[in-house]
Amino acid sequence: MKTKIIALAAATLALGSSAFADVTVNITGATAFRVATLDSIKGRFQASGAPWAMAFAGSGSFNANNQVIFQGTFPDVPGVTTIRTSFNGSVEGIKALVDSPASDPDYLQVSAVSGITKVAGGNNAGNGQSGLIAGAEKAASDIAFSDVGIAATPFAGTTLQPSAPEAGVVVFSMVANDGAPASLTNLNTQNFRALMSQGRQRLSFITGNAADTQFVYATGRNDGSGTRTTYLAESGFGIANIVSQYVVGSSSGDNITAIYRVPALGTNAQIAALSLAQSAANASTIWNTNQVGNGGYSSSSSLRNDMGRKSDTTMVYSATGTIQQSNAGISMVTFMSAGDAGPAKIAGAKVLAYNGVLLNGLANAGAMDTADEDKVENGAYTAWSYQQMYRAADITTGDKVTVYDAIKNNLVLGTTGIPTANMNVGRQVDGGVVLP
């Protein structure tokens, strides 16, 4: 009898330990739904009514940072739940799910939040420290957001969960940097394909006015970005084709003083000799790697900040440091999510019409209004994609699925996206025909 009691006690203890096991969920991928995702996670911890805390590797608001850690009680999940984010781009996010551990991103260590007092309910402001990233660790990802479906990546054919990963619609816009000429108001798909192919075009090619002799330069993200995949699909350029993009090398206050075509590896000695800022992270990493011009910004926030600057007297260099224009008035054009275009516009950038259709609220106030949403929802404006929320293939049940469902069902979209239920049109593939 005693043996049976001991066995029963051991089984009960094992069951209790399993039922209240702690869980860590790692989230990576696209930055387009970063704000919505982080606000959703925070809202779920608040909804628990139990103590929780967070920390993030940066300054300002927690939802403006890529690396954030939350810890506390999560609704319907027993034990302590730790959620870590490391947003690094859509394609990079999918790659992290299918190519672990080789492509594991950096997450903040749990110790980053362990010393912060946990607060029940209300608004836990958290702890932002730029130094936190120094203690980051590589870890396998459980969830990845992507502006594009897996079929639009090199990992097509790989199975991820679930079968219907759509979490909302991401809206994008053409954007010119601060100080763009008054005549630069619209880009059509032909203009954009030509710009991406050659890296620059005379403004007259876009406006039809021969007097517009200023050059317009292409800029944008590297190919780990879903935004990049979206604009190459939407414009018909081809997601795997080589582009020619420029990045900012130096600025002074509100002025861009130098730009250069992205070197094959993101950096080289010639650009370094000019004392221009460069980063190996800007290199192409997915399609046609090590091709001059095919890289781009590894960070949407850096691109957004640069689009808020003027370029009235700018040095333009090739990828090997040759001067292409000297102290010239130029413009830079890119394609970015509404969530990035809004802050860029507020900083001075100019939101452009796409194929003759302008998102007026975004262009005038820096945020989509109901009229803008109507244009997307009813098919007049086609620069959008489905935001996909994927799980790793082996996560089919359990606490991580509970966390996944809670975040997906409670995304705080605001003006950064549109619920799929609101769409009166749809498309079968990224960049595909938009139909009712």
Residues 329-342, mean pLDDT to the nearest whole number = 96
What is residue 280's three-state secondary structure? helix
- Give the integer Cα–Cα distance in Å for 147 and 166: 10
CA dihedral of 341, 342, 348, 349, whole degrees rounded to 10? 20
Residue 181: the pLDDT is 98
Has residue 4 got a pLDDT over 80? Answer: no
Task: For residue range 191-241, list pLDDT tens digits in order.
Answer: 999 999 999 999 999 999 999 999 999 999 999 999 999 999 999 999 999
Has residue 429 got a pLDDT over 50? Answer: yes
- Give the integer Cα–Cα distance in Å for 309 and 259: 12
Q: Are 150 and 93 in contact (CB under 8 A)?
A: no
pTM score of the predicted model: 0.89
Mean pLDDT of the chain, nearest integer: 92
Residue 130: the pLDDT is 66
- Give the integer Cα–Cα distance in Å for 306 and 312: 14
Measured from the Cβ of residue 18, the count of other Cβ atoms closer than 10 Å reads: 10
Residues 29-35, mean pLDDT to the nearest whole number = 90
3-state helix, strand, coil in the chain (%, to 5): 30, 25, 45
Task: Please provide residue 321's backbone torsions phi and psi, each rounded to the nearest 5 degrees.
Answer: 90, 5
- Give the integer Cα–Cα distance in Å for 137 and 260: 33
The model's confidence at residue 1, banded by pLDDT at 50, 70 and 90, is very low
Residue 287: the pLDDT is 87
Residue 412: the pLDDT is 87
Residue 137: the pLDDT is 95
Widest CA span of the chain, in angstroms? 99
Has residue 345 got a pLDDT over 50? Answer: yes
